[in-house]
């Protein structure tokens, strides 16, 4: 059930770094700021192109583009624009750090970022995190989480997952049996077995394991996890299962939850829209509409306003 990722933000062709640099400087010079110009340029360039503009800005004006943007913009709009200006991996590391800083930990953010990554992506995050914060991600995370949840995340962060596309049908049957014996078939649950299998298998392998599990037990793996797990561990395992089946559906559901009910979880809204815009936001849009019967743009418009709304809608595209 693999899907072809459809990004909503693609590189600008042709790119005129000089013109963009001048236009951004002009938008921030003198009285008042031309927010629309900033939105038009930065939401219509790929991250790699934004980095080129940032370097050129420093060369031409001796100024840090991110610092200039911060001093001109404010609120949620500033959050979106600064998120666009960081490299994708730096941005996710910053979000992880924020989720663990201060009192209490935002487990939901840890789950969303860590449980959805391949080993290759995880390795990049681990390396970047230590460069940015001078402390290993695994160590920081261990101090903020506990129990089986901590063990599952530690396995993921230490990079035990098999490389993308690694598949072994015979092993899948065996693993499905191990899951069944560790859960449904016994009193109490052996979380270690669930942790090991869900953290080690490539997503393609886990897809097979879940199919085998259903044939073996007559139940879906989701039903099993619901019966056997609770709290953060339940959320983390469900995130892995949903991502194995369909990353776009997983992120569509997260976006819906971020906007559902009173108040909006702006941090999650911005993080998913920005971090998936060059990967599969097109697919997430389709899934959102299929599941919730309304467009993502209309949902975002009703939850946001002003330049913040305009920036997010520009990234989603197809208003």
With bands split at pLDDT 50, 70 and 90, how would you rate the model's confidence at 188? low
pLDDT tens digits for 35-76?
999 999 999 999 999 999 999 999 999 999 999 999 999 999
The predicted pLDDT at position 165 comes to: 86
pLDDT tens digits for 201-257?
999 999 999 999 999 999 999 999 998 899 999 999 999 999 999 999 999 999 999
Whole-number percent of the chain with pLDDT over 70:
98
17-85, superfamily in CATH?
A: Annexin (1.10.220.10)
Checking if the pLDDT of 13 tops 70, the result is: yes
The predicted pLDDT at position 175 comes to: 95
Cα-flanking dihedrals φ and ψ of residue 284, to 5°? -65, -40
The predicted pLDDT at position 30 comes to: 76
Segment 10-32 mean pLDDT: 94
Q: Where are the beta strands (DSSP E) in the chain?
A: none
Rounded Cα distance, 124 and 152, in Å: 19
Rounded Cα distance, 281 and 199, in Å: 25
Q: Which CATH class is domain 248-305?
A: mainly alpha
Rounded Cα distance, 287 and 275, in Å: 17
Rounded Cα distance, 79 and 255, in Å: 17
With bands split at pLDDT 50, 70 and 90, how would you rate the model's confidence at 261? confident
Looking at per-residue pLDDT, the higher value among 141 and 104 belongs to: 141
DSSP 69-129: HHHH--HHHHHHHHHHHS-HHHHHHHHHHHHHSSSS--HHHHHHHHTT--HHHHHHHHHHH
Q: Look up the pTM and report it.
A: 0.94
Q: Reduced to 3 states, what is the DSSP secondary structure of residue 201?
A: coil
The predicted pLDDT at position 3 comes to: 84
Whether the domain at 17-85 and the domain at 169-245 fall into the same CATH topology: yes
Checking if the pLDDT of 1 tops 60, the result is: no
Whole-number percent of the chain with pLDDT over 90:
88
The predicted pLDDT at position 294 comes to: 97
Segment 9-21 mean pLDDT: 97
Token pair of 195, please? 């942790």
Q: Return the residue matching tokens 């990004």.
A: 7
Answer whether 149's CB lies under 8 Å from 233's CB.
yes
The predicted pLDDT at position 216 comes to: 94
Alpha-helical regions (H) of 218-292? 221-228, 231-245, 247-259, 266-276, 281-292
**Mean pLDDT value across the chain:** 94
169-245, superfamily in CATH?
A: Annexin (1.10.220.10)
Checking if the pLDDT of 319 tops 70, the result is: no
With bands split at pLDDT 50, 70 and 90, how would you rate the model's confidence at 262? confident
Answer whether 82's CB lies under 8 Å from 69's CB.
yes
State the DSSP H helix or E strand holding residue 186, giving kind and residue range, or none if neither: none
Segment 137-152 mean pLDDT: 95
Domain boundaries, the chain: 17-85, 169-245, 248-305
The predicted pLDDT at position 102 comes to: 81
């Amino acid at each position: 059930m693999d899907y072809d990722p459809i990004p909503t933000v693609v590189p600008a062709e042709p790119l005129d770094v000089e013109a963009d640099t001048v236009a951004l400087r002009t938008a921030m010079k003198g009285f008042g700021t031309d927010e629309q110009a900033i939105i038009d340029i930065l939401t219509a360039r790929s991250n790699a192109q934004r980095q080129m503009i940032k370097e050129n800005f420093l060369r031409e004006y001796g100024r840090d583009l991110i610092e200039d943007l911060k001093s001109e913009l404010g609120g949620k709009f500033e959050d979106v624009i600064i998120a666009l200006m960081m490299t994708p991996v730096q941005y996710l590391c910053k979000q992880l750090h924020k989720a663990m800083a201060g009192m209490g930990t935002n487990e939901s953010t840890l789950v969303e970022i860590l449980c959805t990554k391949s080993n290759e992506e995880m390795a990049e995050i681990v390396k970047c995190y230590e460069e940015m914060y001078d402390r290993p991600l695994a160590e920081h995370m261990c101090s903020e989480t506990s129990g089986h949840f901590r063990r599952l995340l530690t396995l993921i962060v230490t990079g035990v997952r098999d490389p993308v596309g690694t598949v072994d049908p015979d092993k899948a049957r065996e693993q499905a049996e191990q899951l069944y014996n560790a859960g449904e078939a016994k009193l109490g649950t052996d979380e270690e077995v669930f942790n090991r299998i869900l953290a080690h298998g490539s997503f393609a392998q886990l897809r097979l394991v879940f199919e085998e599990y259903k044939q073996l037990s007559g139940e879906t793996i989701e039903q099993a996890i619901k019966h056997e797990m609770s709290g953060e561990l339940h959320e983390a395992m469900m995130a892995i299962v949903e991502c194995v089946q369909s990353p776009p559906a997983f992120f569509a559901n997260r976006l819906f939850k971020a906007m559902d009910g009173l108040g909006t979880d702006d941090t999650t809204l911005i993080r998913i829209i920005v971090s998936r815009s060059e990967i599969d936001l097109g697919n997430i849009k389709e899934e959102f509409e299929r599941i919730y019967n309304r467009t993502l743009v209309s949902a975002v418009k009703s939850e946001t306003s002003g330049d913040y709304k305009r920036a997010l809608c520009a990234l989603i595209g197809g208003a």
